[in-house]
Amino acid sequence: MVSNRSLGVSRTLLRKKFRNGMTFRNYHDREAVFSQGDPADSVFYIESGTVKLTAITTRKKAIIAILPRGNFFGEGCLAGQSLRICTARSIGQSNVIRLQKERMLRTLNRDHQFAMVFVGYLLSRVVRVEEDLIDQFFNFSERRLARVLLLFGKITTESKSDSALKVSQSTLAEMVGTTRPRVSKFMNEFKKKGLVSYNGGLQVNSALVIAFLENRPLSVKKGRASKTAPTFGATAVEPRRSGGKK
């Protein structure tokens, strides 16, 4: 859900490779970089800040990813995607670089070093999607929430912002795949244990969250995944705790 890989590509490097094939813009909090259904004609790179990707249907809204600085997004246009399948929106202030699709394709074909960097990003995203699927299908919502909080803590640290990250419990619930009341319950428990605090926004004690995750067993058991894995298209079901409610 949340990217934990930062490529560290600089604006100077991109300017040398793309020249007039790139533009730069600052986005305010909640401002859309592009919207679902817009023409897919460019790739974006986050120089600073954080971007949220969401998809909406008539009945549901899903958060696809939270991307900190050093990540590309909108790369679906390179694979023939003509329209955007999601909305990209800034969380707080973000500086985003737009790379024209045609120039991006030419650069990938001609620049082996840059192509390797971009392929590395794509591979890391595949791994991240697999981890998220396993997390969503097999792990308890409490653990999923802790994992999301840990990565939000990393975003806060990397952004070097003086202000705390503002994330609603509704957003956390959408990312974890559970209800807001359950997130509220877990957050209250985490606050009592010192994992999180609120001082103008969400603050995460990453060391305590890591310790919590290490001491909290995975619900996935080795050698059992093939017996319990849902078929393609199945709906994720919250794992049951033995001897009690989920």
pLDDT tens digit sequence for 74-122? 999 999 999 999 999 998 889 999 999 999 999 999 999 999 999 999 9
| Helices assigned H by DSSP within 69-193 | 101-110, 112-138, 141-159, 169-176, 180-193
Q: In a 3-state reduction of DSSP, which class is residue 235? A: coil
Spatial CB neighbours of 127, under 8 Å, sequence gap ≥ 6:
none
Give the integer Cα–Cα distance in Å for 236 and 224.
17
Closest CA to 9 of 111, 117, 116, 104: 117
More confident residue, 7 or 145: 145
Residue 167 has pLDDT above 90, yes or no: no
Look up residue 53 and give its two tokens: 């990707």
Confidence category of residue 198, pLDDT binned at 50, 70, 90? confident
Give the integer Cα–Cα distance in Å for 179 and 170.
8
Which residues are registered as beta bridge partners of 196?
A: 204
pLDDT in tens, 28-60: 989 999 999 999 999 999 998 889 999 998 888
∠ at Cα 188 (184, 190), nearest 5°? 115
Give the integer Cα–Cα distance in Å for 34 and 40.
9
pLDDT in tens, 115-152: 999 999 999 888 988 888 888 788 888 989 998 898 88
Amino acid 50 reads T
Closest CA to 99 of 24, 157, 38, 159: 24
Look up residue 232 and give its two tokens: 């393609």
Look up residue 47 and give its two tokens: 């120089």
Look up residue 17 and give its two tokens: 């490779």
In this prediction, residue 211 carries a pLDDT of 92
Taken as a whole, the chain contains a residue count of 246
Count other Cβ atoms within 10 Å, centred on residue 65: 20
* pTM (two decimals): 0.74
Which residues are registered as beta bridge partners of 202?
A: 165, 198
CA distances from 201 to 93, 121, 126 (A): 15, 30, 31
Q: In a 3-state reduction of DSSP, which class is residue 167? A: coil
DSSP 8-state assignment for residue 200: S
Give the integer Cα–Cα distance in Å for 174 and 139.
16
Domains of the chain: 11-133 (2.60.120.10), 140-222 (1.10.10.10)
